[in-house]
Amino acid sequence: ASLPQYGSFIDDLRLYVRGGSGGMGYPRLGGEGGRGGDVWLVAHERASLRAIKERHPRKRFVAASGANSSVRALKGEKGRDCEVQVPLGISVLSEDGKQIGELNTAGERCLVARGGLGGSLATNFLPCKGQKRIVHLDLKLIADVGLVGFPNAGKSSLLSKVSHAKPQIADYAFTTIKPELGKIMYADYKQISVADLPGLIEGAHANRGMGHKFLKHIERTKQLLLVVDVSGFQLSIKTRFRTAFETILLLTKELELYKEELLRKPALLAVNKMDLPDSKDNLSELMKQLQNPQ
């Protein structure tokens, strides 16, 4: 079966940003040109990377130039800033992968390109150009619970039963391609969001399968819920069969190899598919192994 196409979810975007040029100085009267505008990223609850891409297909953001100095206004006005609304949970990276900033709460701002200085005595009254660069916006989903498990462990099915999410559910070992976010709403309006993250394929930390794309979303969940098939897991005829206990060891190893601090998050274990034959025996065997992991 071909993998389902999820075209609508984007979790990284490249932008070209440029600060405005400064305004010309006025040599005869010592007038200073206005500074160019800056380019800011501003976190907004309803923003999405997809919306940026649709509204600005060229993905270019340039701030306005500063006003020239004149007889009427010796000090030129500063150019207008350019503000780009981005979703919450964004890491801003430079072209070479260095982090410039993070935006996690609504209203947070990050300066990505400075405007150039206006012309003045110090610059021979000639203005400076604004800063220009390429920035990468890297989105990490924020959820209260992150569902972690191998493909076909029943994460999507579990998510569809406890929340209003309508994930794609299949009975073969395929990996959920995009993170699904489900919201569970209680009578007292308490909400829990659950991210069903693309299933881990063995070796995800080395970026096999959807490896890193998946693991970066786990970093921002408040706690982990490991979902394990009680009867074990086998990815294909070529890979060996793993018992439920071995899949738990593999999952935790995978998380640790990606980022050790993931293991400090509170974690719960859900043993799934208890309606299968032999599941009671498999569960008591798993409980024994969990109590004496060595």
Residue 113 belongs to domain with CATH number: 2.70.210.12
Domain membership flag for residue 161 = yes
Whether 19 shows a pLDDT value over 80: the answer reads: yes
- Looking at the fold, whether 104 and 167 belong to one and the same domain comes out as no
What DSSP designation does 69 have? P
DSSP β-bridge partners for residue 85: 42
- Looking at the fold, whether 134 and 163 belong to one and the same domain comes out as no
Last residue of a domain, one of 102, 123, 139: 139
- At 49, phi and psi to the nearest 5? -65, -35
Domain range for 32: 12-139
Q: pLDDT band at residue 211, thresholds of 50, 70 and 90?
A: low
Alpha-carbon span 212 to 192, nearest angstrom: 24
Domain membership flag for residue 255 = yes
CA distances 229 to 87, 125, 155, Å, are 35, 72, 10
Number of domains in the chain: 2
106 φψ region: left (φ > 0), alpha (ψ -120 to 50), beta (else): beta
Q: How many CA atoms are closer than 13 Å to the CA of 212, on its beta-carbon side?
A: 5
In this prediction, residues 60-67 reach a mean pLDDT of: 98
Domain membership flag for residue 4 = no
Whether 152 shows a pLDDT value over 70: the answer reads: yes
Contact 215, 256 (CB under 8 A): no
Domain membership flag for residue 6 = no
Whether 179 shows a pLDDT value over 80: the answer reads: no
Lookup result for tokens 């980022």:
259
User: Residue 215, SS3?
Assistant: helix
Q: pLDDT band at residue 7, thresholds of 50, 70 and 90?
A: very low
- Looking at the fold, whether 80 and 152 belong to one and the same domain comes out as no
DSSP string for residues in 237-292 = TTSPPB-HHHHHHHHHHHHHHH-GGGGGS-EEEEEE-TTSTTHHHHHHHHHHHHHS
Looking at 34-38, 164-168, 276-280, which range is the least confident one?
164-168
- Looking at the fold, whether 283 and 223 belong to one and the same domain comes out as yes
Looking at 52-61, 84-93, 224-233, which range is the least confident one?
224-233
Looking at 4-8, 142-146, 241-245, which range is the least confident one?
4-8
Domain membership flag for residue 215 = yes
Structure tokens at 165: 């999410």
- At 185, phi and psi to the nearest 5? -110, 125
- Looking at the fold, whether 171 and 219 belong to one and the same domain comes out as yes
Structure tokens at 246: 């071995």
CA 95, 97, 100, 102 dihedral sign is positive
Whether 55 shows a pLDDT value over 90: the answer reads: yes
Structure tokens at 31: 């007038």
Last residue of a domain, one of 88, 123, 139: 139
- Looking at the fold, whether 170 and 42 belong to one and the same domain comes out as no
DSSP β-bridge partners for residue 39: 82, 113
Contact 148, 199 (CB under 8 A): no
DSSP β-bridge partners for residue 83: 40
Domain membership flag for residue 7 = no
Lookup result for tokens 């909400």:
191
Alpha-carbon span 269 to 147, nearest angstrom: 10
Last residue of a domain, one of 108, 139, 170: 139
Lookup result for tokens 């719960």:
268
Q: pLDDT band at residue 6, thresholds of 50, 70 and 90?
A: very low
- Looking at the fold, whether 135 and 153 belong to one and the same domain comes out as no
Helix or strand holding residue 132 (H, E): strand 132-139
